[in-house]
C-alpha cells in the first residue's frame, strides 16, 4: 500500500481485518504475538462454560486494544468491543471519581453493567496488570441474573489480576 488513500476501508474486506492486527503494540507489549492471550484463554474458556448464561468474553487493554476473546463473531467485532469497553469503563471511573473522590484503592474492582433487551446484559470490569496499566474484561450474558454476572465478573477479575501478578 503506497498511501492511506489507496487503502480500502471497507470493513467487510479481509485486508482491513489484517491491517487492524498490525496496530497491536502498547507500552512495550506486542499483542501480535500475544503471549498474554495464550496464557489467559484457558481461564476465560473455563469461566464461559461454568457461568450459566455467559456466552462471550473479551479482554483488552485499558487503551482499548484487543488481547483475546471468546464467543464473538470475528476479530473486527472483538476489536470494536474492546475499544468501546475501555472507553465506557474510563468514563464511568472518571464520573465515579468526581462523585466520590476518596474512593479506596483497595476496594474490589468496580463494575459497569449494561442491561440490554431480551434479558441480556453486559458487564465491564478492570483487571490490574501493571505491564500495560490495566486490562478491561467484558462479559456478555443472557437469561441469567445481573447479580450473578456481577459476582462472577468481580471474582474473575480479582483471580486474573492475582494470577497475572505471579506470572
pLDDT band of residue 86 (cuts 50, 70, 90) is very high
Is residue 46 assigned to a domain? yes
**pLDDT tens per residue, range 93-129:** 888 888 888 877 666 777 888 888 888 999 999 998 8
pLDDT recorded at residue 167: 66
Is residue 160 assigned to a domain? yes
Instruction: State mean pLDDT over 152-160.
Output: 90
pLDDT higher than 80, residue 2: no
CA angle 113, 114, 117 (to 5 degrees): 145
pLDDT recorded at residue 12: 55
CA distances from 109 to 3, 40, 97, 122, 127 (A): 43, 19, 14, 16, 8
Is residue 67 assigned to a domain? yes
Domain region containing 135: 33-166
pLDDT recorded at residue 74: 87
Global confidence as pTM: 0.76
Q: How many domains does the chain have?
A: 1
Mean of per-residue pLDDT scores for the chain = 79
CA angle 63, 21, 78 (to 5 degrees): 65
Is residue 134 assigned to a domain? yes
Is residue 3 assigned to a domain? no
Closest by Cα among 53, 80, 52, 43 to 157:
43
Is residue 142 assigned to a domain? yes
CATH of residue 63: 3.30.450.30
pLDDT recorded at residue 164: 83
Is residue 17 assigned to a domain? no
Cell numbers standing for residue 85: 469497553
pLDDT recorded at residue 85: 94
- What CA–CA distance (Å, rounded) separates 140 from 68? 14
pLDDT recorded at residue 110: 78
**CA distance from start to end of the chain:** 39
- Higher-confidence position of 88 and 102: 88
State percent of the chain over pLDDT 90.
28
Is residue 8 assigned to a domain? no
- Higher-confidence position of 163 and 86: 86
What angle separates helix 146-166 from helix 35-50, to the nearest 10 degrees?
150
pLDDT recorded at residue 129: 87
Amino acid at each position: 500500500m503506497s498511501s492511506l488513500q489507496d487503502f480500502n476501508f471497507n470493513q467487510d474486506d479481509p485486508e482491513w481485518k489484517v491491517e487492524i492486527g498490525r496496530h497491536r503494540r502498547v507500552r512495550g507489549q506486542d499483542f501480535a504475538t500475544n503471549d498474554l492471550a495464550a496464557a489467559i484463554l484457558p481461564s476465560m474458556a473455563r469461566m464461559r462454560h461454568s457461568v450459566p448464561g455467559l456466552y462471550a468474553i473479551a479482554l483488552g487493554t485499558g487503551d482499548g486494544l484487543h488481547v483475546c476473546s471468546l464467543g464473538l463473531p470475528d476479530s473486527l467485532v472483538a476489536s470494536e468491543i474492546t475499544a468501546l469497553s475501555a472507553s465506557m469503563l474510563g468514563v464511568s471511573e472518571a464520573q465515579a471519581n468526581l462523585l466520590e473522590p476518596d474512593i479506596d484503592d483497595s476496594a474490589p474492582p468496580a463494575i459497569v453493567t449494561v442491561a440490554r433487551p431480551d434479558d441480556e446484559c453486559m458487564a465491564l470490569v478492570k483487571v490490574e496488570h501493571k505491564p500495560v496499566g490495566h486490562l478491561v474484561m467484558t462479559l456478555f450474558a443472557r437469561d441469567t441474573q445481573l447479580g450473578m454476572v456481577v459476582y462472577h465478573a468481580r471474582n474473575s477479575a480479582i483471580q486474573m489480576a492475582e494470577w497475572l501478578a505471579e506470572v
